[in-house]
Structure formats: structure tokens, C-alpha cells
Structure 1
Amino acid sequence: MPSARYSLAARLRERFSSYASENRGVAAVEFALIAAPFFFLIFGLLEVCMIFIMAAILDHGVANAARPLRTGAAQSAGMSAEEFRSALCNEMMGMMDCENRLYFDVQTVSGFSSTPSGSPINVAGLIDDEDFGFAPGGPNDIVAVRVFYEWDLFTPGITAPLANLAENRHLIQSNAVFRNEPFGSESE
């Protein structure tokens, strides 16, 4: 009787070792195990990179569009809010939807410490732009330019922690605070 048990165990061991030495599908199994985390990481990284690129483009656009406000060229030409939007959009290299997703607020403030710093996101996760205006100020005034853009996240499941707006969007913000030059009749 003991030899029958031994022969069954020996046969099972032999079959298991032949099964374990088979490696024709190992690469496919290994790829299946690491594919999901790998693509999760790659797409998440691409999403964060896109947000940084769009933030840099927005910063560039705000800096260039705010220059005529700072020098007084916008005030002497009577620039309107829509003309400022157009100047801002011209600096975006056609990479952003300026008509539907771009919001801006240009305010004259009493001092650098009194610049608006609150979030424009309301409780519903939307941008509340009721208090936004366009007041570029006069000579030597301190002006705060805030620009907001709603960026659609393209990998909704992966980048859920980045969504700070409703409908899986991320708010990109750029600010410029400066003292206007002494332009016009008050120039020194």
C-alpha cells in the first residue's frame, strides 16, 4: 500500500514540475498583471503634464494681455472687456476655448495686500463670475488681473482627485497684480 501512495505522489510531483517548467505564456501573463497600473500611471502623468502646459500658456497670455493695462495704452484707447478678452485669447495660441470657458476679473484695488484671493467656485462646483468686472484703473493705480479657465479632464476615472469643478473639470488660474505706470497727464 505505501508504494501506491508514493507512486501517486510521484506522478503528481512529475506533472506539477512539467506544468511549472512550461513558460510559453509567461510574457502575456506578466504583461496582463502590470498593464493596468502601467497605463494608469502613464495617462495620469499625461493629464498632469497637460494641466501644467495649459497653466503656462495661460500665465503667458495674462502677462502679455495685461501689459497694455499697465502702460495705459488700453485706457487711452478705451479698451472694453470684450476687447481685453480678444487680446487675451490672441495670446493663447488657439489652444483654449476662450468664448465658453475663459473668465476674467480686472479690478483696481487699494493696495497689494487687498488683492482678491478667494475662489470663484460656488457650492455647485461651477464658476461664479457675478462679481467679476473690468476696471483697469488710472495712472499709478494697483490693478489685479485674475483669469480662470475650465479645463476638461480627459481621463475621468484616473484623475478624479484633480477635478475641482463639476462635470470632471479642473480650474486653471493665473494672476497678475501690478501698479500702473504714471501714464497720461500725470506722468512725471
Structure 2
Amino acid sequence: MPVIINGRERFMTTTHSVSAISRQLLRNRLLRQWKADDKGSTALEFSIVAIPFFMFILGFVGCAFYFFISNSLEKGMDQTSRLIRTGEAVTDKMTVNQFKQSICDGAGSWIDCNQLQIFVKSYPDGWAGLNSAKPQPCVQGGVVVTNTAPGTDLIAIYSGAASDVVIVTVCYKWNFTSKLPMIKLGNMADGSLMLQTATAFRSEPYPQS
């Protein structure tokens, strides 16, 4: 506030105004320090992208495993189905359980044979018989289709005779997808994924036993 000292006007600062100026200067100083402080910015930026990043990694791993398991099943199925095509399964009197186990062994030890179903069907009329045939389903109404054929039956009962067209279908319930957090790759109610692969061929004209 202005006062007259020795005929001259002077401005005197009160304690209250000094205090207000000091607080303002302190706030400005703290604000400048806060703006200049970039410690922890990397951690903050990573926390923003962490969830989508890990979801991408888990999805990538899940897809890689999917193709790996699918190729393993196809490998085991193709190798074992050749035994039917050449007539070895018939002459060796291979049973349904032995045929299934052979597919599991060819696919690899990472395949849980208890989760695998096989279906073998022959068509004596040749490829024309496939026109009215329906693909073998692995799931019906959300329920896994179970092969009720006795495991002790000879596979020849279902694979037909020489020169018949045969379709071998493999269904595998893959439980790995139910264990992936935040990623839904399964098509079953419990989160698992039903994998299906099939092959069709005409048996060679091998000698009938």
C-alpha cells in the first residue's frame, strides 16, 4: 500500500502479500519440477500397452500350438490309414484299439489318446457312394460324439474290402485352449477346442485273406 515518507510516495508490502507471493513462487517452482521430472515414464507407458501386448503373445502361442497339434494328428492319421489302404491292417488282423493307438503313436506323445475318437467307414460303391454320404460329425448339439464300436473289433469290419473307398475321421478334444487366460480359442462349452481331420482314399486291390 502507498505511504508518504519524506514527501515521497512509497509502497510497503504487508506480511500477507509477501506470504501470497511466496506461495505462488513455490507453486510455480514445484510445477516446473513436476514437468521436468520424467522418472517412471517408461513404466507408465508399458503399463498402458501391457495387456494388449500379452494378449497378442498368448494368442500367437495358442495359434502356433494349434497348427502344431493339427499337423501332428494329420501325420498320425495318414501314416496309420495307409495300413488300411495297403491291406496290412486286414492281414495283420488289427483291432480298433490297435488302430487308434497307432494313430496316437504316429501323432506324438503330446497327444492325449483318451481324448481321441476315430471313425472308419467304407463305401463299396466307390466315389459315387460319397454323393449321399454326410461328413462324420465330432460334436452334435454341443456334445462330443463317441464311437461306440468295441475296441476289440477288427478294423476290417469298418474299413471294408479291397478296392473300397474308405474315409477315416479323427476327432481330438484339445484341452489346452481352456487354460489360456483372456484368450478364447475353444469351440466347446468348457473352453476346449475340438479338432477334426479326415482322409479319403480307395484301398488297393490287395489279396483277400
User: What TM-score comes out, normalization by structure 1 length?
Assistant: 0.84
**Separation (CA, whole Å) in 2 of partners of 1:114 and 1:142:** 14
Cα deviations by residue, 1:32-91 (Å, 9 ceiling, x for unpaired): 111111111101110111011000000000000100100111112221101101211220
Checking the alignment, whether the CA contact within 8 Å between 1:44 and 1:155 is kept in structure 2 is: no
Q: Which residue of 2 aligns with 1:15?
A: 30
CA contact (8 A) 1:146 1:176 kept: yes
In 2, the alpha carbon distance for the partners of 1:157 and 1:108 equals: 42
1:15-34 aligned within 5 A: 15-34=30-49
**Counterpart in 2 of 1:63?**
78
- Corresponding letter in the other structure for 1:58: L
Mark the CA change 1:76 to 1:177 in structure 2 (over 3 Å): closer, same or farther. same
User: What SS is found at the alignment partner of 1:184?
Assistant: coil
Amino acid at match of 1:150: K
Match of 1:144 in 2: 167
1:106 partnered with 2:120 = yes
Match of 1:126 in 2: 143
Identity %: 25
Write the letter of the residue equivalent to 1:42. Answer: I
Contact 2:188 2:194 (C-alpha < 8 Å) held by counterparts: yes
- The whole-number CA distance in structure 2 between the counterparts of 1:38 and 1:171 is 27
Q: What's the offset of the Cα at 1:145?
A: 0.2
- The structure with the largest alpha-carbon Rg is 2
The answer to whether structure 1 residue 38 and structure 2 residue 38 are counterparts is no
User: Contact 2:115–2:173 (CA<8 Å) still a contact in 1?
Assistant: yes
Report the alpha carbon displacement of residue 101 of structure 1 after superposing the two structures with TM: 0.1
Which residue does the alignment assign to 2:11?
none
Higher relative contact order (CA 8 A, sep 6+): 1
Tell me the TM-score normalized by structure 2: 0.76
Give the residue type in structure 1 aligned to 2:182: I
Number of residue pairs aligned between Structure 1 and Structure 2? 182
Partner of 1:183: 206
Write the distance in 1 (CA, Å) between the matches of 2:105 and 2:138. 24
Q: Which moved more, 1:133-142 or 1:168-177?
A: 133-142
Distance 1:12 1:107, change over 3 A: same
Rounded to whole Å, the distance in 1 between the matches of 2:136 and 2:83 is: 25
Mark the CA change 1:28 to 1:171 in structure 2 (over 3 Å): closer, same or farther.
Answer: same
Residue in structure 1 matched with residue 7 of structure 2 by the alignment: none
Rate the CA distance shift 1:48–1:132 in 2: closer, same or farther, 3 A. farther
Give unmatched runs, 5+ long, in structure 1: none
